[in-house]
Structure 1
Amino acid sequence: MRAFLRKRRLSAGRPGTGDDGGFGIIEVVVAMVLFAIMVPATVSVMASTTGGVTDNRSRVVAASLASSQIEMARSQAASVASETTTRVVGKVTYTIAQTVTTSTASATLVTCSSATLPAVYKLVTVNVTWPSMGSVRPVRSDTVVRGTASGTGGLAVTIIDSSGNPVPNLPVQLSNGNVLTTDSNGCVIFTNLPPGTYTVVLDQAGYVGGDGSQHTTSDPVNVTKDTVSTVSMGYDQGVSLAIKYVDNSGQTLSKADDDQLPLELKTATVSGTKGSKTVSIPGSVTGLYPATYTVTSGKCTLGSKDMSSGVPTSQTLQIPTAGVQVAGITTIKGIGAVTAVYKGPATGSGDFSCTVGTTFKIGYMFSLIGDNKAYLPLGKWVIMVPWNELGVILSIPGLTDMCVTANLTSASTGYTFIDVDAQITKMLSGLFTGGSC
């Protein structure tokens, strides 16, 4: 190297050798390449060093904030509660998340299922985070503080849904005004309670208790000193059930057709294991506690629906129907109610059934006035047409009503036609298929 530099100096001082007295183009290129390689590496090292310094500074600040929060929690003791706050230090916003759970003195958590143990301590966990943390872990601090004053007790409340699963993130209010939110186990534990009687109140929009009410209160619970009493409550998202009559294609009946249904079948009771509600048909009933519900009207079961937890919260019960038309009354004087008598289920009638012999009024017949139409749920029916012995034809001794069978199935379309004149002709000729009821 020394020989090379000496040669370069000699060449630089000797005129006429073709050297320009400086580095050649090759040396300049090599130097630029080396510079291009070294500069990014140097910048990266500097940036890494600077970032490390910044991360260390942030962690020091976060550790200080966590320590201050822990000291505050110790000073609050029994009144300490979960909370999240922020602090700005050196233009950096730090988030301080404080979580409080009930524990034993050894920091073993006390849950609703193990709350028969004295629960007189609280485990306080503080996590501090800040923006641009990357892979840096949050700063965490823990402490155990006295959770209840001497001579006080606690109350553990478990909230479950209709399937027995825990209901998390639900506000639970105690009769003394305290409010806590259920954890993932559907559990809250109220501590530092003076001995006495308390009730638990639930009132969350969209939820209902077993009685179908959003506002639900527990039975009184007695709390004694240095122990934790327990209570469990059922509370779930309310469900709704719409009920309507449809034709054999599943289309909702028109208002005119719906008006032809027996009056007795236009009001129903929706009953489940947790209570019942009344609904007009067509109509909907809301605020049902999830369960399997049966819809009844008088002596008839219209259908049932599984509305238990996990199924769609809004469902529809469709009751299939078909039409019956009584016509051809011009040769008799028919005065009185036309009635339908239930005889049993038919193809496609689904869950619909009545006590055999149940009778519905489906219209009235008057002398020389038009036809009678009615809609009935699918099934086997006997239509009773009134017979007036003072009619223009000869009376038939002992016959005051004429009965005609109407078998309404899922294949029934339009109206099942009952021609009174034709039936009477058959009766008088001895070929009738109807007769005295």
Structure 2
Amino acid sequence: MRLSIWRQALSDDEGLTLVEMMVSLVILAMVSSGFAYGLTNAMTATRGDRARIQASNLASREIETLRNEFSASKSAPLEIAADSRVTNPHPLEEEDPPGDPLVLDNMPFTVTRTVEWLTGGVGTSPCDGGTLVTYPSLGVNVRVSWKEGGVERDVETNTVLTPPKGTLATIEGFIAAKVTGADGVTRVPWLPVSLNGDGGSQTRITAADGCAVFALTSPGDYTVSLDQPGYVSIEGTQAISRVETVEPGTIQVLPFSYDKAATIDLEYVFLGSVGGGYAIPDPLSAVTLFNAGLPEMGKREFAGGTATVSGLWPYVDGYSLWAGTCAMNDPAASGGSRGNPLIVPPGETVTGEVQLAPFIVTVRDAADEPVVGEDVIALAEDPAGCQEAEYALGRTDDQGQVQSGLPFGRWTLRSASGEVSAILAANQDEYPLTFSIGGLE
């Protein structure tokens, strides 16, 4: 009896079973993974914090260096203000050329300094104040950027430098370009703006407030221009300019509506759930874009075969588009709707569908038999405004049929066997429609 009890106790003290060992290993792996993940995050955060501290120090260094230069001579404020935007102007080592990235702990940093005349006092954009100039100061923005894990990070710092009295005695007045985007609210920064006039020529960069301010040594007439590739004015042109007369002791602000150009890739499609076999008419239809803000009754036309429409002003309410330029092609002309406008954000490309109304036309002879191999054309019944008033639809197949599509409107479908009138309306319930030419009287 005692031997049995001793053997049972010995059995209870044996090592882990295989199941218990597997459970222990899984728990150990989970704990180790969590620890490694936390350690990795901590190391990443430490690297990110160190880079941010270094960037902040570089920004402070640039501000202090600029402050010393600003006070070095009477001409220094004007010399500093002459370049509205510079990159890496002060290398870390004397032998390094200006403009190269500043490297700390193998991390390259980019220091971008922007200066802007503040003519209406601190805290007020020169483009939003009045025309009278108080004693001007120089607003300075320093942005230090770097890449971390493929993502750009940055820090910014700002200050205001006020020139000593008498330093700006040669400045007679100011002129500013106020650049606003397509939404009418957002300012457009970092754009080069050119000035030409009685006092010479200058080029400046718009600051974060979309404002570029020119200090002038003589009053007179000046032309302010923007001409940046990839951008467009509300008038639809890349280059735009305005002329203004500057009086002594004043600032003249010229507003510009200017933004990144929008692009539409055109794709011709047939309405309805039609399958294959429908032929695009020849020639390819021209395309009309509509927005009430466009000149020429809100419409802009593009020739048939145009695959991409670029250089468009990115209206916030978008563009309506349809096939054809005839007055009758406008979906609203046939009682329909122009559909939901196509919204194209600034600088982006979207695909716009150019809709064709599909139909099947059957050609029959006097015996009501299908006519094979006969050409069918379409003629606009009202050709007003048409770039294309006639289309070739194709040749009848072995069933005497042609499957094609046209812009909205009233058309005459014609072949050697006869003709039929076809009304293709935007508010038609179902497509494709069917038409017959010839056959029994």
Class of the TM-score when normalised by the shorter of the 2 chains: 0.5 to 0.7
Question: Is 1:173–2:201 an aligned residue pair?
Answer: no
Mapped to 2, the partners of 1:378 and 1:124 lie a distance apart of 57
Classify the secondary structure of the residue corresponding to 1:202: strand
1:406, CA displacement in angstroms? 7.2
CA 1:316–1:98 in 2, change beyond 3 Å: closer, same or farther? Answer: closer
CA 1:411–1:191 in 2, change beyond 3 Å: closer, same or farther? Answer: same
Mapped to 1, the partners of 2:167 and 2:354 lie a distance apart of 56
The residue that corresponds to 2:169 in the other structure is: 149
Letter of the structure 2 residue corresponding to residue 223 of structure 1: V
TM, length-normalised to structure 1? 0.57
CA 1:99–1:246 in 2, change beyond 3 Å: closer, same or farther? Answer: closer
Letter of the structure 2 residue corresponding to residue 418 of structure 1: S
**Equivalent residues in 2 for 1:27-66, closer than 5 Å:** 65=65
Letter of the structure 2 residue corresponding to residue 185 of structure 1: D
Q: Which of these residues, 257, 274, 292, is aligned with residue 279 of structure 2?
A: 257
Question: Is 1:70–2:70 an aligned residue pair?
Answer: yes
Question: Is 1:116–2:136 an aligned residue pair?
Answer: no
CA contact (8 A) 1:117 1:228 kept: yes
Classify the secondary structure of the residue corresponding to 1:297: coil
Classify the secondary structure of the residue corresponding to 2:131: coil
TM, length-normalised to structure 2? 0.57
Mapped to 1, the partners of 2:253 and 2:157 lie a distance apart of 35
Q: Which of these residues, 317, 323, 330, is aligned with residue 359 of structure 2?
A: 323
CA contact (8 A) 1:267 1:280 kept: yes
Mapped to 2, the partners of 1:301 and 1:286 lie a distance apart of 22
Letter of the structure 2 residue corresponding to residue 158 of structure 1: K
Q: Which of these residues, 220, 229, 234, is aligned with residue 252 of structure 2?
A: 229
Mapped to 2, the partners of 1:410 and 1:266 lie a distance apart of 23
The residue that corresponds to 2:151 in the other structure is: none
TM-superposition CA deviations, 1:251-299 (whole Å, max 9, x none): 9988x811x35x5x71234344244342324622111111233445112
Mapped to 2, the partners of 1:177 and 1:194 lie a distance apart of 12
The residue that corresponds to 1:100 in the other structure is: 115
Question: Is 1:266–2:270 an aligned residue pair?
Answer: no
CA 1:382–1:102 in 2, change beyond 3 Å: closer, same or farther? Answer: closer
TM-superposition CA deviations, 1:108-159 (whole Å, max 9, x none): 6552110412155223659799x9xxxxx99998641167434611002100
Mapped to 1, the partners of 2:143 and 2:434 lie a distance apart of 77
CA 1:308–1:225 in 2, change beyond 3 Å: closer, same or farther? Answer: farther
Q: What runs of 5+ residues in structure 2 fail to find an aligned partner? A: 1-57, 96-101, 105-109, 147-154, 332-337
The residue that corresponds to 1:85 in the other structure is: 89
Q: Which of these residues, 286, 310, 326, is aligned with residue 298 of structure 1?
A: 326
Mapped to 1, the partners of 2:394 and 2:350 lie a distance apart of 42
CA contact (8 A) 1:120 1:226 kept: no
CA contact (8 A) 2:62 2:90 kept: no
CA contact (8 A) 2:176 2:251 kept: yes
Letter of the structure 2 residue corresponding to residue 224 of structure 1: E
Letter of the structure 2 residue corresponding to residue 266 of structure 1: S
The residue that corresponds to 1:376 in the other structure is: 405
1:102, CA displacement in angstroms? 2.2
CA 1:193–1:375 in 2, change beyond 3 Å: closer, same or farther? Answer: farther
CA contact (8 A) 1:98 1:126 kept: yes
CA 1:283–1:105 in 2, change beyond 3 Å: closer, same or farther? Answer: closer
CA contact (8 A) 1:385 1:403 kept: yes
Letter of the structure 2 residue corresponding to residue 70 of structure 1: F
Letter of the structure 2 residue corresponding to residue 301 of structure 1: D
Q: Which of these residues, 289, 297, 304, is aligned with residue 313 of structure 2?
A: 289
Q: How many residues align?
A: 326
The residue that corresponds to 2:210 in the other structure is: 186
**Equivalent residues in 2 for 1:157-168, closer than 5 Å:** 157-164=177-184, 165-168=186-189
CA contact (8 A) 1:329 1:371 kept: no
1:242, CA displacement in angstroms? 3.0
Mapped to 2, the partners of 1:379 and 1:62 lie a distance apart of 64
Mapped to 2, the partners of 1:163 and 1:128 lie a distance apart of 26
1:321, CA displacement in angstroms? 2.9
Letter of the structure 2 residue corresponding to residue 117 of structure 1: L
1:238, CA displacement in angstroms? 0.9
CA contact (8 A) 2:115 2:138 kept: yes
CA contact (8 A) 1:161 1:234 kept: yes
Mapped to 2, the partners of 1:207 and 1:380 lie a distance apart of 36
CA contact (8 A) 2:379 2:413 kept: yes
The residue that corresponds to 1:210 in the other structure is: 234
CA contact (8 A) 1:100 1:122 kept: no
1:229, CA displacement in angstroms? 0.7
1:245, CA displacement in angstroms? 2.6
1:100, CA displacement in angstroms? 3.2
Mapped to 2, the partners of 1:102 and 1:67 lie a distance apart of 16
Mapped to 1, the partners of 2:221 and 2:250 lie a distance apart of 14
Question: Is 1:199–2:259 an aligned residue pair?
Answer: no
The residue that corresponds to 1:30 in the other structure is: none
Mapped to 2, the partners of 1:126 and 1:246 lie a distance apart of 51
Classify the secondary structure of the residue corresponding to 1:211: coil
RMSD over aligned Cα, in angstroms? 5.1
Question: Is 1:420–2:438 an aligned residue pair?
Answer: yes
1:235, CA displacement in angstroms? 0.6
Letter of the structure 1 residue corresponding to residue 434 of structure 2: T
